[in-house]
Amino acid sequence: MFIILVFFETFIFVILYAGPIYFLVGLPLSILIDNLAGRFIITSKLLRYFISLGIYSLTGIVIGAILLIIVNQNIYFPFLICCFFASNIYLHIFLLVSKITVNLQPKI
């Protein structure tokens, strides 16, 4: 029981501090990336996915490096890996929510 309480306490702590940054920076960048990826005329969904995955990954690493330079004045590689994974989690949650909302729309 104690482990569950510690987990939820940590989860709430992370959501309170990282959540606003994640959405305030992530949402506009996501829209920008989707517009950028939409400029390519690609018919293959798989190729479009890999292009989006690459752009999101690169953006996560660049934003992580910028944050580290602003805060710490040097690059810390494990933090960049965490930013890489965070941006990819964001992409996949976005794809999942997009797929669910498309399937829930009434068919005319």
| 21, 56, 83, 102, 103 from 106: Cα distances, Å | 34, 31, 37, 9, 8
pTM score: 0.71
Contacts 24+ apart (CB under 8 A), 29-36: 29/59, 29/63, 30/90, 30/91, 30/94, 33/59
d(CA 44, CA 64): 30
d(CA 105, CA 48): 23
Averaged pLDDT, 92-105: 81
Indicate the average pLDDT of the chain. Answer: 80
pLDDT over 70 at 1, yes or no: no
pLDDT over 70 at 108, yes or no: no
pLDDT over 80 at 65, yes or no: yes
DSSP conformational letter for 107 = P
- Residue 100: the pLDDT is 84
pLDDT over 70 at 11, yes or no: yes
